[in-house]
Every structure is written in structure tokens, then in C-alpha cells.
Amino acid sequence: MISEVFQKDTEQLFDTPIIQQTAYWSDVKKNLGYQTLALDYKLPQEEINDAVAASSSVLSDLLTILQPIDSTRTYAYVPYGPELEPLAENQGTFLEELSESLRPYLPASCIMIRYDLLWESPWAAEESFFDAEGVWAGPPDSRIQEMRLNYNTAKWNLRKAPSNILPSNTIFINLKKQANHLLGAMKPKTRYNIRLAERKGVQVRTAGVDEIEIWNKLYQETASRNGIFLNDIDYFKTVFATRPDKDSVKVKLLLAEYNEMPLAAMFLVMSGRRCSYLYGASSSEHRNLMPTYALQWYAIKMAQEHGCTEYDMFGVSPGADPAHPMNGLYKFKKGFGGDIFHTLGCWDYPLTADEYLQHIAREMKQQGFHIN
């Protein structure tokens, strides 16, 4: 299935709308002290589209980040990759072959490969997994998922990770529509809040790297309020300051202010046709002015101006479940319209079985995800 696998410089990674698979993201991770690896590979076109000739093939690539586990062991993390998505019946065998092709390029300390798959979950297309209100119940238990993905594999070695790192549910907004149509597709309350923020005098602007402290203060306040994972300011400085040689990725820090008082902020990243709302923060003050709504609407219009055709809200609960810890984000983000997208999430390919089982036992005691 896979042929002509070879390593290349990470600066040669292909342009892609998936920011976590770009040369820019590799530079971010290297600037933070991680080792990264880029590989090219070929796959027969018929494995992706069974209506084409068997003689044709497609070239793709992969960004892998080596993550330390402890002083002696690492694992290979593939954030939102591979981008290339085979037909459903070929996905397991493709990941198995890709993993074995990756193995020679990984250090002896690497105990597993973790794929954070952006491929759509097959259970998101099955009516039996939705309730009467259209809320997705989520995938079946891990054993059933593993049976499906390992079908036709030689080693039956793909394992569902105990938790996801990057969000496995998101909302995509189609930016090909005009502004009035985008507003018309929003929930009435969302439209009202956007206009309320405008009437009350909330202003949104693009900030510079010298204003990163403003962001950090809002972010720390948000993290404290919601009990979320806290990255330090050096992390965000790196995300903001890193620039690829090619102008294929744009990073914007947006601030929503009232009488020059910062009320909300966000990191917006544009790569190819996709614009992603990567990080957000807000103050506990003047929430009645709806600055986060003004911020999102400004970002959506900015994405259109830069030629993006889709806007990734980046991370929601699987549906409108009041018991889910991300239900508030779901209600807020779904208000802007768009379609929810459920991915397969994180999958592991153990390279050293015993050490992998020991690592997973420890990992299952931990909770939550963060952008990695």
C-alpha cells in the first residue's frame, strides 16, 4: 500500500489547512525544545478513491513530534495527522503500514506512535448513534472501535487512546457565504449579542507581540475561572513570534476592548483555506457587553478578507449535553452557525508492548487535554 517513504527537512512540509501539520507548527515545537520529524510517502490513489485507475498514486507527508515521557522514554505524536484519509475499509491497514514505515526513523527510546486523527468518526454517520433531538451519543466503547479499525490489519495493534489530546469535536463554518447569510445562519441570540456589543461600543483590533502581557492576564483569569490547563506566557510568545519562511501561515492576536479596557482576546491562525480559533480568553468584568461575540464576528470577517473558506471553532462537546464540561462552549460556538464535525480522535500504535501498557496505566489516571 505505502511506498517510497523517506525523511525530509521539516521546512519542506507541504502547505495544508491543518495548522498542526505545517512547517510553522514544527518550528513552534522546535522553539519550545521538541524534536520534530517530517516524512514523505506515496499511497495508491485507489486506496483513497476506488473509482480511479490502480496505476496512479498520491504523494503526501507527515509531521511527527517526539514527546518525552520521562528521562529515558519518548513517544511519537502526530497532531491531526495523517492528513491523507483512505477509504474507511483501508484506514486500519494504512495506519499499520505507515507505523511500520515510521519505525526505522524513530529513536530506540520511542515506545509508541500516537495519531490524533482528524478523520471523521464512522459512527457520526449512523442514525442509531443520535437521539430524538439529534444529539450524538458518541462512539461505542473502545473494544468495538478497535475491532472496526483493526479489521484486515496483520497485527491487530491499533489501540484507542484513553483520552484525546486535541479536540475531537469541532464546528466548521462555511465562509463562502456573504456576511448577511452568515448572520442569518446564526442563532437569534448570537446575532443580538453581536449587535449589542457594537451598540455598547465594544471595539476589536489586532494587537502586536508587545501586547502579549494583556493576553496573558486575560488567559490566566480565564484559566482560573474555568479550571483549565494553563500554558505559560513563553508558550504564547513562541506561537505568536514563530514565522515560517513561506508566508503560508498567519497568526493574529485580536483584542476586544471597551473604553480601552481589554475584555476578551483570541489567537487566530490562518493556513490555506482554513482559519482556526486556536485560543481564547476573557475578563470577568463587563461580560454583559458581549465582547466574545464581537471578537468572533470580527475574526470571521477577517478570515473572509484573507481568502479563507472555512472557520474552525476548535473544540466543543459532542452535542448539547448539559452534563458535559464543554457544553457551555458548544452553546456559544454553535450559536454562530456551522456544522459539527466528530473525529476519530487519538489512536496508538505500540512499538514496545510492555512499556506501552505501563505508560497507559499511568496515563489513565490523568484527565483533560491541551493543545500539543
Position 333 scores a pLDDT of: 95
Lowest-pLDDT range, 54-58, 123-127, 367-371?
367-371
Amino acid at 159: R
Residue with cell 464546528: 171
As a whole-number percent, the residues of the chain with pLDDT over 90 amount to: 76
Q: Exposed/middle/buried for 184, CB within 10 Å: 0-12, 13-18, 19+?
A: exposed
Q: Do the domains spanning 3-168+343-363 and 176-308 agree at the CATH topology level?
A: yes
Position 168 scores a pLDDT of: 94
What is the C-alpha to C-alpha distance for residues 274 and 51, in angstroms, rounded to an integer?
28
With contact defined as beta carbons under 8 Å apart, do 159 and 146 qualify?
yes
More confident residue, 88 or 246: 88
Q: Where are the domains of the chain?
A: 3-168+343-363, 176-308
Position 369 scores a pLDDT of: 43
The residues, ordered by sequence, that sit 6+ positions from 315 with a Cβ below 8 Å of its Cβ are 167, 169, 170, 326, 329
Phi, psi of 332 (to 5 degrees): -65, -50
pLDDT tens digits along 321-358: 788 878 888 999 999 999 999 999 999 999 999 999 99
What integer is the mean pLDDT of 141-162?
95
What integer is the mean pLDDT of 93-97?
95
Position 106 scores a pLDDT of: 97
Question: By C-alpha distance, which of 39, 114, 123, 51 is closest to 84?
Answer: 39
State the pLDDT confidence band at 148, using cuts at 50, 70 and 90: very high
State the pLDDT confidence band at 370, using cuts at 50, 70 and 90: very low
More confident residue, 259 or 51: 259
CATH topology of domain 176-308: Aminopeptidase (3.40.630)
With contact defined as beta carbons under 8 Å apart, do 54 and 66 qualify?
no
With contact defined as beta carbons under 8 Å apart, do 40 and 8 qualify?
yes
The residues, ordered by sequence, that sit 6+ positions from 221 with a Cβ below 8 Å of its Cβ are 281, 282, 283, 284
State the pLDDT confidence band at 299, using cuts at 50, 70 and 90: very high
What is the C-alpha to C-alpha distance for residues 308 and 300, in angstroms, rounded to an integer?
9
**Collapsing DSSP states into helix, strand and coil, what is residue 244?**
coil
**Collapsing DSSP states into helix, strand and coil, what is residue 137?**
coil
CATH topology of domain 3-168+343-363: Aminopeptidase (3.40.630)
Position 246 scores a pLDDT of: 59
The neighbour count for residue 232, using CB atoms within 10 Å, is 10
User: CA-based Rg of the chain, rounded to a whole angstrom?
Assistant: 21
The neighbour count for residue 183, using CB atoms within 10 Å, is 17
The residues, ordered by sequence, that sit 6+ positions from 242 with a Cβ below 8 Å of its Cβ are 24, 27, 28, 31, 251
pLDDT tens digits along 96-120: 999 999 999 999 999 999 999 999 9
What is the C-alpha to C-alpha distance for residues 246 and 177, in angstroms, rounded to an integer?
28
Residue with cell 490513489: 45
Look at residue 250 and tell me whether its pLDDT is greater than 50. yes
The neighbour count for residue 114, using CB atoms within 10 Å, is 21
State the pLDDT confidence band at 48, using cuts at 50, 70 and 90: confident
310-348 b/e (C-beta count within 10 Å ≥ 16 → b): bbbbbbbbbbbbeebeebebbbbbbbbbbebbbbbbbbb
State the pLDDT confidence band at 231, using cuts at 50, 70 and 90: confident
Identify the H or E element spanning 167: none
